Chain A
Amino acid sequence: KQEVTQIPAALSVPEGENLVLNCSFTDSAIYNLQWFRQDPGKGLTSLLLIQSSQREQTSGRLNASLDKSSGRSTLYIAASQPGDSATYLCAVIRGSTLGRLYFGRGTQLTVWP
């Protein structure tokens, strides 16, 4: 069974800091990995999707990396802003069960002015 772990569970930083959120998964036979943002009481917004053959994806101030062999992904947020405050979720699709996402429990990020 695929298990996805996110560390830390919560993070509080001052505005302007560069930060890294971590995600690890137990089964390296993944098809792709997706990072989401969730605002309180709201739905999930897809931030980045990395295919298993890729090493990283970038979107604006966000950069996600993937090391499939070690079962790890990181989400790097540059020059954090208060508007980045949200819960960030990592999810993987296993190669053997195409279409099913396995989620971590998320990292709750607070960026204070």
Chain B
Amino acid sequence: DADVTQTPRNRITKTGKRIMLECSQTKGHDRMYWYRQDPGLGLRLIYYSFDVKDINKGEISDGYSVSRQAQAKFSLSLESAIPNQTALYFCATSDWGTSLGEQYFGPGTRLTVT
């Protein structure tokens, strides 16, 4: 089984709808991240969490919110989806203490907002 899983893998939704992307990990890592990837722009950080009680905004957090339900679960929500949020979304994890911040990525969620 994969160490970092994301659900759903693909989603098509309409403008204005609320949508949640979920991430789970079995690596036991304390740190979790959400990135989006757009063609030609690379990956950009949306939110990150260093533990269950710690949530931080990344460089493009507007229009998004997150919830760290447990050490192993980190969800990303789009409260009112808009077409320019169409992108590939990745969750990642790291364990600062033992792996020097090396990040491990999930398979991604392809989101299309029409």
Contacts and interface: CB of A to CB of B under 8 A. Distances in A.
Contact of B96 (A43, A45, A99, A106): A99
Contacts, number: 59
B43 A103 contact: yes
Interface of B, secondary structure class, is strand
Interface in B49-69: 50, 58
B101 A43 contact: no
Interface string B17-60: 00000000000000101000000111111001010000000100
Contacts of A43: 90, 105-108
Nearest to B105: A44
Contact of A46 (B43, B50, B58, B103): B103
B106 A89 contact: no
B93 to A, nearest CB: 11
Interface string A5-28: 000000000000000000000000
Contacts of A32: 100-102
A100 B102 CA distance: 11
Interface of B: 31, 33, 40-45, 48, 50, 58, 88, 90, 92, 94, 96, 100-108, 110
Given A31-B101, A89-B43, 16 more contacts: A31-B100, A32-B101, A32-B102, A34-B103, A41-B108, A43-B105, A43-B106, A43-B108, A44-B90, A44-B92, A44-B105, A89-B42, A93-B101, A101-B103, A103-B44, A105-B42
Interface of A: 31-32, 34, 36, 41-46, 49, 51, 89, 91, 93, 98-101, 103-106
